Structure 1
Amino acid sequence: MEPTNVTRNGPQTHGALPLNSLEQLVDLAKGQPPERQHGLLIGVADLYRSTGGRDRAPQALGDAFIALVRVVEADIRQALSERLADADWVPVALVRMLAADAIEIARPVIAASPLLQDDDLLTLLAEASLDHRIQVALRPGLGAAVARAIISADDPTVLTALASNRTAALGAEGMSRLVSRSRELAALRAPLARHPQMTPELGARLYQWVGEALRQAIMDRFTLDPARLAEAAHAAAQETAPADVAAARLTAKLQASDQLRPATLIRALREDRLEVFIHALSRLARLDLDQVRRALRADTARPLFLACTAAGLDRAAFPAVLNEVRRMNNGFPHDPDGGDWRLAHRSAAQAAYEFQLLMAPEDSHPV
C-alpha cells in the first residue's frame, strides 16, 4: 500500500508527514467536519501500517494514531473499529481504547481482535458495562480464565451469554457449575442442553429440572435410562428449599399474630433473609408469590416498587430496599430507568392493580 501524507487539506499521497508535532495533528482534526476527520484518520492509519505497523512503525506515529482516534466523532470510531476488528498490526493501546468505548464501538474488537488478551478481557469484566461483559462472554474461543471469572461473578445475563458460547473453554468444572446454576436460572437450560461440552452425566442432572422439550433433546443426544431419569426428575420436583419452607412458616406465624408489617420487610433485608422478604411482601401486598419472585428478576425495578407500595412500604424507603435486594439477588432487578418508576403517588390498591397488569402472562386478556 502506498504511504499516505497528511496535510492541512487532508490525506494526500507521496512524501512525508509534514506536521511538526502530535499536537498539530490533533488540533487539525478538532472541529473538522466528519468526512474530513474520516479521511485524515484513514490516511494516518494507512501510513502507520505501511511503515511497519505496531512492530516497526515509529512510536510517535503510533501515538498520533491513538490521539487522533480520541478526538474524532463516535460514528468514525465505530467505522474504524469495524475495519480494524481482526487486524494484528494496530497499536495494542488503540484496541484497548476501542474495547472500552461505547458498546457499538467496542463490540467488533471485543468479538474479534487477536490483540486482546485475557488480562484485557478481565479488565473489561471488572470495569465495563453490562453490555461489554455480555460481549466478552460471547467472544469466540474465550479462554478458561475469563470463563471462570464470569462464572464466579454469577451475573445471570452474562452467564446466559457464556452458556450460549459454544467455543468458550468452560471445562468440566465450568460446565458443572453452569448446570447447577440452571436449576434456578431457567435461561441457561436450553443453551446448556445443546452445548458441545455437555456430558451424559451432566445431561442427566440437567434433565431433572428442564421442561419436556429439553428432556427429549437430552434423551435424543445421550443414551440414558428413561426410568431412572423420570425417577430423578420426580424427586427433584418434590424437593423444597429449607430456607423457603422456613420463610413461609415464619411469615404465616407473624401474620396470624398480627405482627406482619412493612417494617418486617426492612428487618428481613437487614438480616440478609431474602426469602423472608419475598414471602412477607407477597402476604402484605396480597400478591401471588410466583409473581413477586418474577418481579425480583425483572429488567426494571417498577414491579418491585409497585409491590412494596401495595404492601404499605413508604415510598421514601424504596431506594434503600432496592439496593439491599440487588445486593442479595445478583444485581436484580435492574434499574435502567434510573428512578423513572417513581411516578405519581398511588394507593396500595392502585399499586397492586398496576402490579398485576405488569406481571400478567403475555397471553392473558387485559383487565
Structure 2
Amino acid sequence: MSAVVPLKPAEPTERQIDLLALARSRNPSDRERLLLALTTLCRTSPGAAAGQSNLLSDIFVTLVRQAERDIRRSLARQLAEADWAPVALINMLALDEIEIARPIIAANPLLGEDQLLKILIEATLEHQIEVARRPALSGRLVDHIIDRGEPAVLTALASNGTAEVTEASLARLVEHSKRVAALRAPLVRHPRLSNQLASQLYEWVGAALRQAIGERFNVDAEKLDTAVRAATQAVTHPEPEPPKLTAAQRDEMDRRLVAKLMQSGQLRAGYAIRALREQNVCLFEHALAALGGFPVQHVRTAVRADTPELLALACNAAGMDRAVLPALLDELRRLTGGLPAGGDPRVPRVPRSPEQARREFKARFAAAAAT
C-alpha cells in the first residue's frame, strides 16, 4: 500500500494576492477598486459566484454602501443584465438615485414583481416611469400603474408595447386619455388597440392622430367627424333653454293637471301631500281645493291666514289624517315664510269628520262674505 502524500495548498495567484491587499486596505479608493475587481471576476466566472452567493452578497452590499456615486453608477451599468449578482445588491441599486437605478430597473432579470411593485409605491416619479417602460411588464404591475393614474407613468406604460396590457386595461388607458392628452399618441400606435377603442379614441384626438387612426383601422372618418362636431357643438353652443313660465302659466298648468286627475278618479290626499314635499305650493293648493270642493282662492286664503285652523279644516275635508297635519304645517311654513301664522301648529282644532270640516270651512267664508 502506497503512502499518502499530503497535498500542498495551491499557491495564491498574483490576482488573488492583489485582491487580498485591496481587502486589507482602509483606503476608500482601494475599496472601490476591490468592488470593481470582484464584479469583473464574478462576471467572467458566474458559476463560482453562484456557489458563494451569500458571502459575495454581504461583501458587495457592504462595499456598495461605502462607494462613491460614480462607482455605484458604473457598477449598475455592469450589472444591468447580470443574472448572477446578489439579489440584495440588485434591489439596493434599483432604489438608488435614478441615474444609478435606471439600467437595473430597465433590464435586470433578478428584479422580481414584488420588488418592482415596491419601487412603484416607494420610489420617485422617475423610478416609476422606468418601471412602466420595463419590457414584458406583468399584468399585475400594469393594473397598479393604471389604478394610480399618474399621467407621466401612464404615458410611459402606453408606449410599452411589450407590457401585458389586456383589452380591459387598454380600455382604461383610453378612458384616461380624456384628461391626459399625452396618452393619445402612444395609444394610437399601441399594438393591441382594437377597432372599437380606436373609434372611441378618435373622438378625443387632433387631426394628425385622426389620420393615423384612419390609416390603421377601418374607421368611417366622415361619420366620426360628424359625431365629434355634434358633441363639440352641444358643449360650446348648447340649446337655448325654453323661456320660463310666468306664475299665471304655471298656475294654469297645475289647475289642468289636478282637474284631469280628479276627472279620472286618481286624485288622492296623498298627491297633495307629495306636491308639498316637492315644494310645489301652487299644485298643493289646487289639489286641496279639488279634494275639498272649495274655490282655490279660499284655500289660498287659508294658507296665508293668521291661524292654522282654516287650513286644518281644508285638510280634514280633503281626507288627510290628523297625524300628518303638524309635519304638513311645518313644511308649508318653510316654503311660505311662516304662513299660516299664529296658533299652535302642533294641535290645530279640527272637527271629527271630513263632512263636518267641509261645512265649517264653507260657513267661515260665507259669513265673511256676508259682513
TM-score, normalised to structure 1, is: 0.56
Match of 1:66 among 61, 66, 77: 61
Question: What is the distance in 2 between the residues matched to 1:188 and 1:16?
Answer: 54
Q: Is the 8 A contact 1:48 1:57 kept in 2?
A: no
Percent identity of equivalent pairs: 46
Of 5, 12, 15, the residue aligned with 1:13 is: 15
CA distance change for structure 1 residues 16 and 57 in 2, over 3 Å: closer, same or farther?
Answer: farther
Aligned counterparts, 1:240-279, within 5 A = 240=235
Separation in 1 of the partners of 2:165 and 2:125? 20
Asked whether the equivalents of residues 179 and 206 of structure 1 are also in contact (C-alpha less than 8 Å), the reply is yes
- Name the amino acid aligned to 2:102: R
Q: Deviations over 1:294-322 (max 9, x none)?
A: xxxxxxxxxxxxxxxxxxxxxxxxxxxxx
Question: Are 1:159 and 1:188, in contact at CA under 8 Å, matched by a contact in 2?
Answer: yes
Quickly say closer, same or farther: Cα 1:44–1:209, change in 2 above 3 A.
same
Q: Which runs of 5 or more structure 1 residues have no equivalent in the other structure? A: 1-6, 242-367
Task: Identify if the C-alpha distance between structure 1 residues 235 and 170 changes in structure 2 by more than 3 Å, giving closer, same or farther.
Answer: farther
Does the Cα contact within 8 Å between 2:32 and 2:63 map onto a contact in 1? no
* Change in CA separation of 1:28 and 1:231 when aligned onto 2, cut-off 3 Å: farther
Which residue identity is paired with 1:71? Q
CA contact (8 A) 1:141 1:168 kept: yes
Q: TM-score, normalised by structure 2?
A: 0.56
- 1:188 deviates by 0.5
Residue 103 (structure 1) aligns with: 98
Structure 1 residues 175 and 208, CA, compared in 2 at 3 Å: closer, same or farther?
same
Give the deviation of 1:161 after TM superposition: 1.1
1:123 aligns to what? 118
In the TM superposition, what whole-angstrom CA distance separates every residue of 1:239-270 from its partner, at most 9, and x where no partner exists? 559xxxxxxxxxxxxxxxxxxxxxxxxxxxxx
Aligned mate of 1:199, from 194, 206, 221: 194
Q: Which moved more, 1:42-51 or 1:196-205?
A: 42-51
Q: Which amino acid aligns with 2:62?
A: A
Q: In the superposition, relative to structure 1, how do residues 12 and 93 fare at CA in structure 2: closer, same or farther (>3 Å)?
A: farther
Residue 43, structure 1, aligned to residue 37, structure 2: yes
Q: Output the CA distance in 2 between the equivalents of 1:28 and 1:145.
A: 47
Aligned to 2:159: 164
Q: Compute the displacement of 1:70 (Å).
A: 1.1
8 Å CA contact 2:120, 2:127 repeated in 1:
yes
* CA distance 1:196–1:141, change in 2 (3 Å): same
User: 1:86-138 CA deviation, whole Å, 9 max, x = no partner?
Assistant: 11010111110000000000000000001111111100000001110111111
User: Which entry has the higher C-alpha Rg, 1 or 2?
Assistant: 2
Question: Which residue pairs with 2:185 in the alignment?
Answer: 190
Distance 1:57 1:140 in 2: 30
CA distance in 2, matches of 1:97, 1:204: 44
The residue number in structure 2 matching 1:32 is 28
Q: Distance in 2 between matches of 1:236 and 1:41?
A: 63
- 1:51 shift after superposition: 6.7
Bigger mean CA offset, 56-65 vs 106-115: 56-65
CA distance in 2, matches of 1:53, 1:142: 31
For 1:163 and 1:84, locate their aligned partners in 2 and report how far apart those are by CA, in whole Å: 27
Q: CA RMSD in A?
A: 2.6
Tell me the equivalent position of 2:295: none
CA distance in 1: counterparts of 2:175 and 2:219, whole angstroms: 19
Please give the residue correspondences for 1:145-156 in structure 2 after superposition, counting only pairs within 5 Å: 145-156=140-151
Consecutive unaligned residues in structure 2, runs of 5 or more: 1-11, 237-371
2-structure distance, mates of 1:232, 1:53: 66
Aligned partner of residue 28 in structure 2, secondary structure: coil
CA contact (8 A) 2:49 2:56 kept: no
| Structure 2 counterpart of 1:153, one-letter code | R
The residue identity in structure 2 corresponding to 1:103 is I
Q: How far has the Cα of 1:140 moved from its partner?
A: 1.6
